Amino acid sequence: NAGVTQTPKFQVLKTGQSMTLQCAQDMNHNSMYWYRQDPGMGLRLIYYSASEGTTDKGEVPNGYNVSRLNKREFSLRLESAAPSQTSVYFCASSEGAGEGTDTQYFGPGTRLTVL
Amino acid sequence: RKEVEQDPGPFNVPEGATVAFNCTYSNSASQSFFWYRQDCRKEPKLLMSVYSSGNEDGRFTAQLNRASQYISLLIRDSKLSDSATYLCVVNQAGTALIFGKGTTLSVSS
């Protein structure tokens, strides 16, 4: 039981490049989330998916798109990377349907640098 | 006013000390409250949920005061392994968790 896995662990992009961050969970959870964590800012929600086939914006969605490919996988895409998107990205999942009342389990994070 | 506020610290304490962290939240409709722990360059992990009646898990005690919109975490008999950042987390509108910026604890021998 791997929990929540994320790929890649590290990535360096040039401004304007695109990339997709992958996330998968093997806990049969309904909800999945993408956060970014910046120094002095705490964790901020980018997008979430309360169930397969649904996605909703979080606090900081601009510049990102997401896909809930199936119940296990939730990807985050940067279409045209900007230096302001340099951050640590965490994927998380929870058993419930996005009510925010249950425990979230986090992946190990992706450290992204945009030059 | 920020939605979840914490004293960033750092709190530097010796082994065996008792240390308390405080957190305030702005949304009076918040329903669920948690403390997460985050080690340096690692992912956050749930430490404990916080219940209205207060709850204890070993050396850790969490309290909630809904009237004052205040949450606390008490750590007794601090260990070196308790060194980490502690995140106060509150749910909002039934859909999203709001994370505080965290309080850093450093326990020294």
Q: Quick check: helix, strand or coil at residue B42?
A: coil
Distance CA B53, CA A39 (A): 34
Distance CA B46, CA A49 (A): 20
Q: Enumerate the residues of chain B whose CB falls inside 8 A of the CB of residue A107.
A: 43
> CB-based contact (8 Å) between B27 and chain A?
no
> What are the distances in angstroms from CA A10 to CA A15, A29, A83?
16, 25, 15
Q: Is the pLDDT of residue B93 over 60?
A: no
Q: What percent of chain B has pLDDT over 90?
A: 77
Q: Please, what is the average pLDDT of chain B?
A: 92
Q: pLDDT grade, residue A2 (50/70/90)?
A: confident
Mean pLDDT, range B17-33, rounded to an integer? 91
For A44-93, how does the pLDDT look when each residue is reduced to its tens digit (9 = 90+)?
999 999 888 899 999 999 999 999 989 999 999 999 999 999 999 999 99
The residue assigned the tokens 């230096």 is: A83
**Identity (one letter) of the amino acid at A77?**
R
Mean pLDDT, range B88-95, rounded to an integer? 76
Closest CA to A109 of A4, A1, A6, A3: A6
Q: Enumerate the residues of chain B whose CB falls inside 8 A of the CB of residue A42.
A: 87, 99-102
Q: Which of B97, B99, B101, B103 to mutate to test the interface with A (most CBs of A within 10 A)?
A: B97
